[in-house]
Structure 1
């Protein structure tokens, strides 16, 4: 853990300085101050007032804290990634992406690890059949899953902590990480005074990423939206807004198929139409499961249980969604996103040449026969 943190600090800590240097080189001054809207064209940044024709809000989100006694003992993901020494025992409140990724790490480090979830659903946005496999692997590594457990209080107990559940039971641990959701950073920005609608979900925007004040845009995690709040989607939105400001396009925003990935060990990814949606509407979608590891063990890097599930349109036969289980799940989802967005047929894919033998070529070689020729 100490080596990992040293590497993280070496790579991540200088990043803001590098970015700031890039901004300044491009003629973009950086103000280190809290910013708030004064009017549609002015921002108060500390003691300075900045005017602009166009304003873009990109304030992101912050972790939601449980409103329970002892919440001051609950850490968030940033605290976790600044730990100098890893605790012998650690408890995660919530069973979403952050908790499951960090619990995977904790298990590998040999810590006594518990994941606590208020209901039965772990990694709710991902296919249950692949989540169940990850959970099984983590349980084999000693992770305890306490489902249908509500944390009512966190108590200090000497050098340790007690998590007290609603039913009166308790769990002792050395470190508590809360990951029960995130809320948009919208407080103190002067939004209400300008009539810009917002909530803990984020800032309301139209199909051009504009707030109710037409020259003020919002981008990234601070936007109220249904699509996944990811770094790539924030980048996509910011590029779109830049094109709008520069007059390069006036079309409404249109998102392509968006791949998303959870860095558990092993990983799960998905893109496009979900397996849950396909199962609910079998009249619209056809699914095909491919046992990748068993069919192409070399390309799967000896990962025998690596697997894909593809979702095809019954009307066109084209790929419209996919889910992946395995260490290369991110690469596979990216390729599937390209095939979906470009509406590629089997013939179109077969006319491309890929490196061999690789994880990408292996996946596509198994996908092509399942697609219509044209």
Structure 2
């Protein structure tokens, strides 16, 4: 925590100084859009040519008795000491990632999840590896359970479900999702269409008011809502403001990771999509940890799946490994640029590395010309 606070403090002061050096003013306060060219902040109005909404999201709270006793990701990441027994409501990305930290530190974790398994958007085979590991570390999972209340009792906080299942811990993490920060910022008065899914934008990231853009978590899109996605959108918006007649936004394939230990990730066409359309995709599953152990840090349970189309171009990948981020970042341009074996064989990789093994494995499977 000392390292985290020191690091974040550096980011905060450094970013403010950088903005100032670039001629960017930071106005602290609650902003509200008054019209297509005006923003008010605590009674002061500011005129502008364009407005970009990037207000992000916050922790959701289950609307149940005792919800004030639950904590969100922000509070968890500011703890001075880990709880001895953490109860997690929701086995999605945040719940699983934070549980991974607590379990590695020797703490107890109990999950209550409404669905029948964790991480529904990720490969079930890989998710099961994480579940098995968590259980071996002392985690307990209660699936298909709807939490009905949280209450203070002797010994801590008791979480109860509608069917009577209970657990008592000393910290309850509500990891049931995120809520968009779009209330009371002036959208309704301007007729800007928004819903719990986000603000509707066109292919130039503009709202229904052409001078007002939106970026990041608050946008109503099906693409992964991630930090690099928001950065990509914001960079595009900057270019579009300078050149309104420029091209529409085009998203490349986006690597999507879960930072459990080990990590799970996917990019492009998913394993589930490939299995659902065997006439369209070829799925090559590689027990990477067993086959490449000599260069894989003895991570025997790591696996890699490569997905090809009917022309043998790489169109997707999924993996479980502590190194999955580097793998997918390396594979993403192969997918996006539709690289062939000839393209890969024009390169030289460092040896012996995992990326070398990816290169040599993939070159033998890709379209040749």
TM-score norm. by structure 2 comes to 0.98
Q: Does 1:106 align with 2:97?
A: no
Structure 2 CA distance for aligned equivalents of residues 248 and 201 of structure 1 = 26
Deviates more, 1:155-164 or 1:335-344: 155-164
Q: Which residue does the alignment assign to 1:232? A: 228
User: Match for residue 320 of structure 1?
Assistant: 315
Structure 1 residue 189: deviation in Å?
0.6
Q: Structure 1: state its 5+ residue gaps.
A: none
261-270 or 349-358, larger mean C-alpha shift: 349-358
Tell me how far 1:225 sits from its aligned partner: 0.8
Deviation at 1:60, TM superposition (A): 0.3
| Post-superposition offset of 1:248 | 7.8
C-alpha distance in 2 between matches for 1:285 and 1:64: 37
Among 268, 271, 276, the alignment partner of 1:272 is 268
Matched, 1:50 2:66: no
Give 1:150 deviation, angstroms: 1.1
Q: Find the residue that maps to 1:298 and give its secondary structure.
A: helix
Q: Please say if residues 183 and 201 of structure 1, whose CA atoms lie closer than 8 Å, have aligned partners that are also in contact.
A: no
Name the stretch that deviates more: 211-220 or 298-307. Answer: 298-307
Cα separation, 1, equivalents of 2:255 and 2:14: 28
Instruction: Tell me the alpha carbon deviations over residues 92-150 of structure 1, each in whole angstroms, 9 at most, x when there is no partner.
Output: 10010000011111111111111110121211111001001111111111111111111
1:172 pairs, out of 168, 178, 181, with 168
2:121 is aligned with 1:125: yes
Cα offset for 1:298?
2.5
In the other structure, the counterpart of 1:299 is 295
- Write the distance in 1 (CA, Å) between the matches of 2:349 and 2:261: 27
8 Å CA contact 2:289–2:302 kept in 1: the answer is yes
Q: 2:270 touches 2:317 (CA, 8 Å); kept in 1?
A: yes
Q: Counterpart in 2 of 1:69? A: 65
CA–CA distance in 2 between the matches of 1:137 and 1:322? 23
Match of residue 310, structure 1, among 303, 306, 311:
306
Correspondent of 2:339 among 338, 344, 362: 344
* Equivalent position of 1:32 in the other structure: 28
1:362 aligns with 2:357: yes
Distance in 2, matches of 1:350 and 1:199, equals 48
Give the secondary structure class of the aligned counterpart of 1:325: strand
| Partner-residue secondary structure (3-state), 1:115 | strand
After TM superposition, what 4+ stretches of structure 1 lie above 2 angstroms from structure 2?
A: none
Aligned equivalents of 2:205 and 2:6: distance in 1? 36
What is the root-mean-square deviation of aligned Cα atoms in Å? 1.1
How big is each residue's C-alpha offset from its partner over 1:26-65, in whole Å with a ceiling of 9 and x where there is no partner? 1111000100001100000123211111111100011111
The aligned residue for residue 79 of structure 2 is 83
Q: What are the superposed Cα offsets for residues 287-331 of structure 1, whole Å, 9 maximum, x if unpaired? A: 0011222222122111122110011001x1100000011110001
Aligned partners of 2:250, 2:114: CA distance in 1, in Å?
36
Cα-to-partner distance string for 1:155-185 (whole Å, 9 max, x where unaligned)? 0114500001101231111000011111211
- CA–CA distance in 2 between the matches of 1:293 and 1:169? 38
Matched, 1:191 2:187: yes
In 2, the alpha carbon distance for the partners of 1:177 and 1:228 equals 23
Change (3 A) 1:296 1:347: same
- Checking the alignment, whether the CA contact within 8 Å between 1:266 and 1:327 is kept in structure 2 is yes
For 1:192-211, list aligned pairs within 5 A.
192-211=188-207
- Distance in 2, Cα, partners of 1:66 & 1:76: 11
Do the aligned residues in 2 keep the contact of 1:243 with 1:249 (CA within 8 Å)?
Answer: no
Distance in 1 (alpha carbons) for counterparts of 2:298 and 2:44: 59
Contact 1:151–1:166 (8 Å) recurs in 2: yes
Contact 2:155/2:168 (<8 A) preserved: no
Distance 2:262 2:271 in 1: 19
Q: Distance in 1 between matches of 2:232 and 2:26?
A: 22
